[in-house]
């Protein structure tokens, strides 16, 4: 009986070996298909994803594109990469460093002459070289910041210029400034300037008031010297600019909202504040 058990055990081992050999013959060994690798990767832990991301960034280098080459499918045939990863860093054009975003703020008619108030918003340069080129582009639009001789002062700051067009005359500058992200208006913050509506009548009453406020401001009240007032109310982005209407509206590229008030003829500016 012991001999029979030994023979049966030996045959069982042989059978197992043959089965394993047959199974190995049926296995096709090759490079895993790319899509299968992607699907498998999705089941790995977040730590593995972080490692893969870091590796991709190293491979991308300065080109901003991750190229996967030399991939082959299960039959050994070379396939094209399924995924490319491009840099998401915005260009100077996308940031509007060398060409401002212009928004119409208000319009109206004064003694048969049409007038317009608009604001140019220049994106923040990231280097002194970008700032120097921005200064040159600003000069091309007759716009010069207060510290025009110091390009470094513009780095990291958004610059705006408010322009007034009256009748057929060329636009003239009303106000301008540069501000960093930390200078964004909040609460009842307000910055404004008052001027004559007609640029040729600088000694006339200051009827035009332009300024910017926090995005949350819903109403700005401009008070005139005779005690009367005009209320500018917030409108949605893209709202029509109606003639002789006082509004608060967004301006493209600006972190703040902008308002314009115009006093009736014969009245002059006294004060302005956020009232809602």
- Report residue 212: phi and psi, to 5°: -130, 150
Average per-residue pLDDT for the chain: 77
pLDDT tier, 181 (very low <50, low <70, confident <90, very high otherwise): confident
pLDDT tens, residue by residue, 12-71: 555 555 555 555 454 443 333 333 333 333 333 333 333 333 333 333 333 333 333 444
- Cα four-point dihedral sign 263, 267, 273, 274: negative
- Cα four-point dihedral sign 134, 140, 144, 149: positive
Least confident span in 35-39, 72-76, 210-214 = 35-39
Distance CA 155, CA 16 (A): 75
């Amino acid at each position: 009986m012991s001999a029979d058990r030994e023979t049966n055990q030996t045959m069982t081992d042989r059978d197992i070996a043959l089965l394993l050999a047959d199974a190995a013959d049926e296995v096709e060994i090759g490079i895993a298909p790319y899509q299968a690798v992607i699907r498998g990767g999705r089941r790995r832990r977040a730590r593995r994803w972080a490692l893969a991301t870091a590796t991709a960034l190293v491979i991308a280098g300065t080109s901003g594109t991750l190229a996967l080459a030399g991939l082959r499918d299960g039959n050994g045939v070379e396939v094209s990469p399924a995924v490319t990863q491009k840099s998401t860093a915005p260009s100077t054009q996308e940031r509007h460093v060398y060409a401002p975003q212009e928004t119409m703020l208000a319009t109206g008619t004064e003694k048969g002459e049409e007038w317009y108030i608009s604001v140019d918003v220049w994106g923040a340069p990231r280097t002194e070289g970008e700032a120097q080129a921005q200064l040159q582009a600003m000069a091309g639009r007759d716009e010069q910041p207060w510290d025009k001789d110091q390009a470094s002062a513009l780095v990291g700051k958004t610059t705006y210029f408010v322009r007034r067009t009256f009748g057929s005359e060329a636009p003239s500058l009303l106000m301008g400034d540069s501000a960093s992200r930390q200078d964004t208006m909040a609460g009842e913050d307000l910055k404004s300037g008052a001027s004559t509506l007609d640029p040729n009548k600088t000694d006339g009453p200051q009827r035009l008031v332009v300024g910017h406020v926090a995005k949350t401001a819903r109403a700005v009240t401009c008070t005139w010297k005779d005690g009367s007032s005009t209320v500018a109310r917030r409108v949605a982005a893209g709202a029509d600019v109606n003639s002789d209407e006082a509004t608060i509206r967004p301006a493209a590229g600006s972190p703040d909202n902008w308002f314009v008030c115009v006093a009736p003829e014969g009245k002059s500016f006294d004060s302005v504040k956020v009232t809602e």
